[in-house]
Amino acid sequence: MRSKKWSWVSLIAVIVMILACTYVSAVGYGEDHIGTAKNIKLGLDLAGGVNITYEANEENPSAEDMSDTVYKLQQRVTAYSTEAEVYQQGINRINVDIPGVYNAEEILSVLGNPGTISFCEGASDEAKGEEVLEGYFEVLNGNHIQSAQATTQQDSYGNQEYVVSLMFDDEGTKAFADATARNVGKPIYIIYDGEVISSPRVNQTISNGQCVIEGNFTYESANALATTIRAGKLKLGLTEISSKVVSAKLGSDAVRTSLFAGLIGLIIVMIFMIVLYWIPGLAAAIALALYVASLMCFLNGLDITLTLPGMAGIILTIGMAVDANVIIFTRIREEISAGHGVREAIKIGFNKALSAVLDGNITTLIAAAILYVMGTGTIRGFAITLTLGIVLSLFTALIVTRILVYALYGIGFKDVKYYGRMKETKVRDYFNFKKISYSISIILIVIGFISMGIHAGSGSRALNYSLDFTGGTAMTVMFNEPLDIPGADEQKLMEIFQENAGTSDVQFQNVTGSNEIVIKTPILNAEQRSDVREALSEEYGINSDEAITEENISGTVSGEMRRSAIVSVIIATICILIYIWIRFRDLRFGASAVIALIHDVLIVLMIYAVLRIPVGTTFIACMLTIVGYSINATIVIFDRVRENLKLMPKASPMEIANKSISQTLSRSINTSLTTLIMVLVLFILGVSSIREFVLPMMAGIIGGTWSSVCITATLWAIMRGRKK
């Protein structure tokens, strides 16, 4: 009775946890509604807005100058959005994210302006400074202002009034003292970007380096003036090296369709697990619900910014979360078939599956860590969500599912029929099939290289590199109706770019299944981009804020992207090789795994080449995700090989390879199916930008399953030799 009682307690406790996490993700916790899904911070590719990357003109700026410049830019962007963020990237770069605004040209003209604030006196015989506007001579500029704050003081009637309090440095103190001495009874003019924004009158000479600006201020107006003064002259000259405008419409569509796709995929996977594994499958479905609910809470609670690749990463990890359960449940059925009782089979199954589950997920975590270190922006966001998803999936699979399986057993589901037996494994001769399987892989890889060669020979690039890899300007335009591209409409668009941007080097690319067209040109400046947007809006009757997104990336950034992609894959592969070598104590395991990884990368590259999918920042995330996923499947087979080496001491490496592949075949197929279900639903229902990310990932999942089953173990057997 006690066992049954505690089984009910465990089951109810898990259900309460699910309900609690669901409530928090729906409503939130506390006054700030921490954890609610609607408060999850969205990246610009989901929320819409402007992203700009600046590079300091100085090669090695000091940390102090960089910090000061970041601070002043932050003051400037606050005027556009309270959610705007400015942060340093590397030694000499600054990223600016401003959600909810779309006029990049206006923002660019203000943010990077090298000198924007001046304190001036009017024209007179005594005026000494440089004339910044006709009739206005500079006394000091923003470099001499140490602080500017909205504060309060008592007026002559004893009432509190808002004022702006200023403090100057030593040089500014002397200049201001001289100027106020010359201008008692006259105004000092504060000029921002060539416009007088305030003209307070001087009542007396101010020599202590501190003053207040009085007026009929509210807190908001005083704070706005103080903010503008603080954001005065930047310490460093800045050059725009990339900018991107993302429409809100794209973002809302992406969020809505991705969440809907994720929900449908989740339900299908739950049903699949219950039908396939019965009571353990029900436990996995309940644990999966907890996984999703807790993931939503953590995304907001940890203040993680969710991006489009990050969303795809979450949905991918939902599919991968099932993998550990499939490994465990397969082991349980094997132990029942071996003659163990159900309870003992559950215990042994979890213990035997532990090493394969941990090794597989750790290798994926290695790929995620490389992504985080090497990547920036959305790629780093993808790495964070992938890592969080893997950690939570391990918790739900190894702890929550275990509790649920024991609880369901304890409340009465004790019969073997609720768990199933493993059918006797029919050992197939995969080693003898190796010539065919290797040939199929080689043919697919060669098709990729031939495709790249044909495109390169025809004058276009071997791969369809996006701006991230080539540099330039790209506008994605959502027209009201399909255009004839290539055809009559192409000439009209060419004329628009010729007249407004002065270039005829324009490439057009239709987005399949929509009225969108991607237009690529060499780098255009802010004025040219603005003129083109206005011309397109007039000619085609579209809202430029909602229908046009743009991206501007310099050659410097694109070169770094290419290097980052190559270096990331190489480092991840080396780290995984070292890990497998250490865990399996045999370099041949690692060598065959790495060959399979190279195979998977080349298969995905073939898809990019043949289908001309744009190769951009998400390419890096896709490749490293495939690396992690593929090695996860390979390790499950290697774990069986390691086990069978002890159980079959007289068998040859070929016999061990065939036995191990046969034993893990159902797991490989079931795991791939559950992951493919999630990704396929996302591909069918997702927006075009998600499909470009998901399609090669689907190819990688299929290729990874193929290499794990047909290549890795047989390669290991070849390297091991024919000796027993």
Mean pLDDT of the chain: 83
- Choose between 665 and 382: higher pLDDT: 665
pLDDT of residue 112 exceeding 80, the answer is no
pLDDT at 547 over 50: yes
pLDDT tops 90 at residue 329: yes
**Residue 648 binned pLDDT confidence (cut-offs 50, 70, 90):** very high
| pLDDT confidence band for 2 (50 / 70 / 90) | very low
pLDDT at 214 over 80: yes
Burial 111-138 (b: 16+ CB within 10 A, else e): bbbeebbbbbbeeeeebebeebeeebbb
**Identity at 687, one-letter amino acid code:** V
Q: Classify 328 in phi/psi space as left (phi over 0), alpha (psi -120 to 50) or beta.
A: alpha
Closest CA relative to residue 627, chosen from 599, 592, 656: 599
Tell which residue, 185, 412, 466, has the closest CA to residue 279: 412
DSSP alpha helix (H) spans, 524-586: 526-540, 544-547, 555-584
The helix/strand/coil state of 714 is helix
DSSP string covering 61-87, please?
--HHHHHHHHHHHHHHHTTT-TT-EEE
How would residue 607 be classed by pLDDT, with cut points 50, 70 and 90? very high
Q: In degrees rounded to 5, what are phi and psi of residue 89?
A: -125, 115
Please give the pLDDT value at position 251: 57
Is residue 252 scored above 90 in pLDDT? no
The answer to whether 676 and 661 are in contact (CB under 8 A) is no
Looking at the domain that runs over 434-449+557-720, which CATH code has it been given?
A: 1.20.1640.10
CA 300/CA 305 separation, integer angstroms: 8
Percent of the chain having pLDDT more than 70? 88
Instruction: Determine the pLDDT at residue 231.
Output: 65
Per-residue model confidence (pLDDT) at position 722: 56
Label residue 460 by pLDDT band (50, 70, 90): confident
Cβ contact 363:576 at 8 Å: yes
Q: Which residues pair with 29 in a beta bridge?
A: 34
pLDDT of residue 451: 95
How sure is the predictor about 475, in pLDDT bands with cuts at 50, 70 and 90? confident
**Residue 106: per-residue pLDDT:** 67
**Least confident piece of the model among 73-82, 164-173, 567-576, 700-709:** 73-82
Q: Cα dihedral angle (34, 37, 38, 41), rounded to 10 degrees?
A: 80
Strand 210-217 and strand 507-510: the pairing is: unpaired
Among the ranges given (90-99, 179-188, 507-516, 638-647), the one the predictor scored with the smallest mean pLDDT: 507-516
Of the ranges 126-130, 312-316, 555-559, 602-606, which one carries the lowest mean pLDDT score?
555-559
Residue 644 in this model has a pLDDT that exceeds 90: yes
pLDDT at 377: 60
What pLDDT, on a 0 to 100 scale, did the predictor assign at position 61? 87
Of 306 and 677, more confident: 677
Q: What is the mean pLDDT of residues 397-420?
A: 93
Q: What is the pLDDT of residue 724?
A: 45
Asked whether the predicted pLDDT for residue 386 surpasses 50, the reply is yes
638 vs 243 pLDDT, higher one: 638
Give domain 117-230's CATH number out of 1.10.287.70, 3.30.1360.200, 3.40.50.300, 3.40.50.720: 3.30.1360.200
Which has the closest alpha carbon to 264: 306, 299, 292? 292
Q: Tell me: domain 49-113, CATH 3.40.50.720, correct?
A: no
Residue 110: per-residue pLDDT = 63
Compute the average pLDDT of residues 68-91. 76
| Residue 337 confidence (pLDDT) | 92
271: left (phi over 0), alpha (psi -120 to 50) or beta: alpha
Q: Is the pLDDT of residue 660 over 90?
A: yes
pLDDT value for 347: 94
Percent of the chain beyond pLDDT 90?
28
Q: What is the mean pLDDT of residues 685-697?
A: 78
The larger pLDDT score, comparing residue 335 to residue 573, is at 335
Termini Cα distance of the chain: 53
**Structure confidence at residue 37 (pLDDT):** 66
- Per-residue pLDDT at 204 exceeds 90: yes
Q: What is the CATH number of domain 2-38+250-418?
A: 1.20.1640.10
* pLDDT mean over 416-440: 90
Asked whether the predicted pLDDT for residue 250 surpasses 70, the reply is no
| 1 confidence band (pLDDT: 50, 70, 90) | very low
Give one word for 53, left, alpha or beta, with left for phi > 0 and alpha for psi -120 to 50.
beta
Q: Which helix (H) or strand (E) holds 636?
A: helix 617-647
pLDDT of 113 over the 80 cut: no
Contact 293, 25 (CB under 8 A): yes
Q: Which residue has the higher pLDDT, 402 or 505?
A: 402
Is the pLDDT score of 52 beyond 90? no
Does pLDDT of 508 surpass 50? yes
Domain range summary for the chain, segments of one domain joined by +: 2-38+250-418, 49-113, 117-230, 434-449+557-720, 474-553
Q: Do domains 2-38+250-418 and 434-449+557-720 have the same CATH topology?
A: yes
**Six-digit token string for 379:** 């790629």
